[in-house]
Amino acid sequence: MRRQVWLILGGLAAGVALVSLLAFDAGYVLIQFGQYRLETTLVAAGIALLLLLWIVRVSFRFLSAILGLGPGVGRWLEKRREDKASALLRETLIAMFDERTDTVVQRLPKLMKGDLFSDAERVKADVWVLKRQLEATAKPDQLKRVWSGAKVELKQAPEMTAHYANQLCRLGRSKDAELELQALSKRGWTASATHALAQINLDDAPSMVNALTELSGNRSATDVANGLVIAKAQLLPKGDAEKTLIEHYGKQPAPFVVTALGTIGVKKS
């Protein structure tokens, strides 16, 4: 109640001040458009503007009541946005099922901009896109360009680095893959890294053994232990290396051990 009183008093004071000002000088407004010319006072121009705004507001309410506009327009726009998002989602999924990686890569970022997914889900989508891009490459230079253009936070993830190393092995760049794994072994290790290591004839097996030994002391992970077995086997003569890997296969029959046996055989022959 007190607030309303102050508003009324303030409005009256402002009105008195405005009237006093206009009584001293009513102002002058000139509007010219082409050959047409309109001259009036500031008071008349202000009244005309307020009247125009009132007519527009009344007309909009009248049309809203007759045509069902107003809230209906907002609902229509929201429905239109939802339909577009649904169509984009459907097209992206179809492209994903058809393994059209280029199409998915183009559409997925647009889809992630909406409010359908959380931040964590957007990160997963970025990881999926980068993996598909790496797997779709056919030349080492193309693979390296895709990797260099990826987001830094994605490349720092151990699983993604290991995946990149596997793709380097796929394209015959085992030396580059070893460099990636050597760097990875100082901060983390994954099953995918073990799979990549099994495909490489290490140039610097002692460094890999030392890094994985230190890493295994900080955490109890099967993946680190498996990588350490493969790295140590490359320090041994062929017979001892094969025996070590075969014994490990007896304890843990995994495909990476078979791959490592083939790599050891090629290296030692």
CB under 8 A, 24+ apart: contacts of 139-143: 139/171, 140/168, 140/171, 140/172, 140/173, 140/176, 143/167, 143/168, 143/171, 143/173
User: How many angstroms separate the Cα of 62 from the Cα of each of 49, 71, 203, 268?
Assistant: 20, 14, 82, 90
The pLDDT assigned to 51 comes to 83
> Residues 116-166: pLDDT tens digits?
677 787 788 888 888 888 998 999 999 999 999 988 999 999 999 999 999
Q: Contact at 8 Å (CB) between 100 and 132?
A: no
Average pLDDT over residues 107-121: 74
CATH architecture of the domain formed by 157-269: Alpha Horseshoe (1.25)
Calculate the average pLDDT of the chain.
81
pLDDT score of 232 more than 80 = yes
**CA 217 distance to own-chain centroid:** 34
Q: Which of 3-7, 30-34, 104-108, 130-134 has the lowest mean pLDDT?
A: 3-7
Structure confidence by residue, pLDDT tens digits, 73-89: 566 667 777 777 778 77
pLDDT at 269: 46
How sure is the predictor about 171, in pLDDT bands with cuts at 50, 70 and 90?
A: very high
Percentage, residues of the chain above pLDDT 70:
80
Average pLDDT over residues 161-179: 94
Of the ranges 33-37, 64-68, 137-141, which one carries the lowest mean pLDDT score? 64-68
pTM for this structure? 0.64
Q: Where do the H-state alpha helices sit in the chain?
A: 2-24, 42-67, 71-97, 101-112, 119-136, 140-148, 152-155, 158-170, 174-184, 191-197, 205-218, 222-233, 238-251, 255-268
Q: Kindly report the CA angle at 109 between 104 and 110, in degrees rounded to 5?
A: 100
Can you list the alpha helix ranges (DSSP code H) found in 137-189?
140-148, 152-155, 158-170, 174-184
